[in-house]
Amino acid sequence: MGIGSVPIVGMCDGGATVGPAGPRTQQQAGSNRSDRRTVVAVVMIAIGFHGSGRGITRRLPTPDLPIGNPFRKRPLLLDNVNRLVALLAIALATAAHASSIDTVRGNFVDYYTAAGADRTSPRVRDALAGLESQARSYIDPGFLRSDGSWSDINYDDTPDGSWSPWDHTRRLIVMAKAYRTPGQSLYNDPQLRVQIESALGYVNHYYSRTTLPLGNWWFWSIGTPLDLGPTLVLMRGDINDTVFNDCVSTLAFHIGSSPTSRGLTGPVPTGENLVWSSYTHLCLALLRDDSALLAQVRDAMASACLTTTGDGIQNDSSFHQHGPQLYTGGYGGSFANDVARYALLTRGTEFELTSQARASFSNYLADGIAWSLYGNYFDVSVISREVARPSTTGYNGIAALLQASVIASPRQREIRTAAAKMLQSWQWILPPELAGLANVTDTAAWPSGHQHYFASDYTVHRRDGWFASVKMFSTRTKSGESTNDENLLGSRQSDGRFYLALNGDDYFGRDIWPAYDWTRLPGITVEQKPDTANDFYDFGTRTFVGGIGDGQNGVSAMEYAPLKSSVTAKKAWFFFGDTIVFLTNSINSRSENRIETVIDQRPVTSPIVSGINWAVANRVGYWLYGASPRIENLT
């Protein structure tokens, strides 16, 4: 396969047929479009290969006076002096803590209201107009009722993969931002303030200290607090004390006593759940002027930034969540956004991240986040079940890069160049807090070269103008997950799945995934049977999976044994500049089912030209050793 001015990859043997994509869809992925054409190219090859993978406390000294000391005759004077020194030190420490909390709180409000941003810049103007429009849509008469509830929310709903009442606090944070943000007409609007107060007063009708936390724990302990907390920080001093105090008590009740402990319900937080928990406790600390709690938040955030073998940043700068499964663009993208925001809010205070944490986090941004982004989207292999969401974009990526671009770190220059590059193609309106940071003028460039992420069985090979990756799995890693009725057909996504993007939006944003043939993912060798695409995920059964490279080129290989299939094989991918070679051999199966090795499946954007053992389409060239191309057009 050659990538340059021209990548389809692949062919098929004589048994393949042309037909419709059929009813294969991903739950919640959007509607099928009959006018979308997809090319599937399949080839069976058997070419030999074998290789290897690869709170701060200050204790004042108390004088221990000898018996003969002259002060012994004046004990009351000495005691008073000691008490005065101690009280003075305590007062100074308390004042310093209070000053730092005030600084963080000021940074918090300034961040969410885009303080200092150029209100005349096009991005900021669009952001402010978007904020006002969104807030106004929430306060339409009859939509927001007089009692503070919304007419379209089912407040009796039990959370599972979604929760109708979550929209209540999600709307509140938008309204609070509009109330506090200068540059649009809802700034300090008295009627909006009353509506915010009314909606906050309604929170305890469905989310109180006496509400039974049924269903999905995440909405009770994390989801709702993530919006309620910032809303209260922004509205502090502008709403009724009773309403404010009731909401703060409710927030504290649900999130638990510390960022590292369990909330009202759910597990002990790890990975991105720990960062989310830290952010809700950051808000609680600012609401209660609690320096000790804010110090706990700092320590939790710092620990989350260090590499681990559990949930979080791995030694190779990939990200795991829910066990050893690749989630750099899913949970890991949200993690990057949230940690970068925390670093921005606390910089220059005693609550900022440690130098070690900043260095580790900047490595993750430069070597993990930036490397798995292309155009406006993350690589599909790093978002796991989030492929099923029509709203999936690279938003968390651009948010993390923009926020980190103004924070001093060992990798700041690389972060700024990636941020500048992503801004060139970003097509959506940014929120004011990010639009105010979107003035990066550095040279714009994505990373270029080759990386294998050994902790995640994942390889990236990219050059200026295109992005490619391979996702594998082994006894060390999980193939993915299906939760909340998402990813119901994605079981083959770690079976050596090959992903090639030329524009970044090759598959995203155009309802491609619902029409996709999930039994024929590019790069996989697959046993075709009725349940080929399913929702079963687990650890692999083979250890021989890995890759190696020199920073520019490399090779990846896997001993192939897909789950719930009788097929086995040996697979390898060789990456040389703008050429990628697929090799598959030793294909065996105990069943009579048809076995295919799929080279590519992608939307058609240009005419397909083919010869005896080659094809060209979509600016991609394909060459097959000892095989003739057979191309299927699926509509």
CATH number at residue 138: 1.50.10.100
Total number of domains constituting the chain: 4
Q: Are residues 500 and 625 in the same domain?
A: yes
Residue 293 lies in a domain: no
Q: Are residues 393 and 525 in the same domain?
A: no
Residue 517 lies in a domain: yes
Residue 36 lies in a domain: yes
5 C-beta neighbours (distance < 10 Å), count: 10
Q: Are residues 234 and 306 in the same domain?
A: no
pLDDT band at 621 (very low <50, low <70, confident <90, very high): very high
State whether residue 487 is helix, strand or coil.
coil
Q: Are residues 467 and 605 in the same domain?
A: yes
Q: Are residues 431 and 517 in the same domain?
A: no
In one letter, which amino acid is 590? R
- Res 82: pLDDT: 55
Residue 372 lies in a domain: yes
Using one digit for the tens of pLDDT, what is the confidence trace for 197-234?
999 999 999 999 999 999 999 999 999 999 999 999 99
Residue among 442, 438, 505 at smallest CA distance from 127 = 438
pLDDT band at 95 (very low <50, low <70, confident <90, very high): low
Q: Are residues 11 and 123 in the same domain?
A: no
Q: Are residues 118 and 155 in the same domain?
A: yes
Q: Are residues 462 and 604 in the same domain?
A: yes
Using one digit for the tens of pLDDT, what is the confidence trace for 376-387?
999 999 999 999
Q: Are residues 438 and 349 in the same domain?
A: yes
Residues 267-294, mean pLDDT to the nearest whole number = 98
Using one digit for the tens of pLDDT, what is the confidence trace for 491-510?
999 999 999 999 999 999 88
State whether residue 597 is helix, strand or coil.
strand
Residue 441 lies in a domain: yes
Range of the domain at 473: 2-54+454-634
Q: Are residues 460 and 516 in the same domain?
A: yes
Using one digit for the tens of pLDDT, what is the confidence trace for 137-164?
999 999 999 999 999 999 999 999 999 9
Residues 370-395, mean pLDDT to the nearest whole number = 95
> Is the pLDDT confidence value at 46 over 80?
no
Using one digit for the tens of pLDDT, what is the confidence trace for 301-354?
999 999 999 999 999 999 999 999 999 999 999 999 999 999 999 999 999 999
Q: How far apart are CA 179 and CA 299, in angstroms?
A: 32
Q: Using CB atoms within 10 A of its CB, is residue 77 exposed (0-12), middle (13-18) or buried (19+)?
A: exposed
Pick from 447, 472, 493: which residue ends a domain? 447
Q: Are residues 250 and 208 in the same domain?
A: yes
Using one digit for the tens of pLDDT, what is the confidence trace for 180-202?
999 999 999 999 999 999 999 99
Q: What is the DSSP letter of 365?
A: I
Pick from 220, 240, 255: which residue ends a domain? 255
Q: What is the CATH number of the domain that holds 493?
A: 2.70.98.10
**By mean pLDDT, which of 59-68, 161-170, 379-388 is the weakest?**
59-68
Rounded to 10 deg, the angle between the 291-305 and 355-364 helix axes is 50
Residue 280 lies in a domain: no
| Single pTM value for the model | 0.86
pLDDT band at 80 (very low <50, low <70, confident <90, very high): low
Pick from 42, 74, 106: which residue ends a domain? 106
- Res 620: pLDDT: 93
Q: Are residues 371 and 426 in the same domain?
A: yes
**What proportion of the chain, given as a percentage, has pLDDT over 70?**
84
Residue 408 lies in a domain: yes
Write out the H or E segment, with its range, that includes residue 272: helix 271-288
Residue 504 lies in a domain: yes
Query: Please, what is the average pLDDT of the chain?
Result: 87
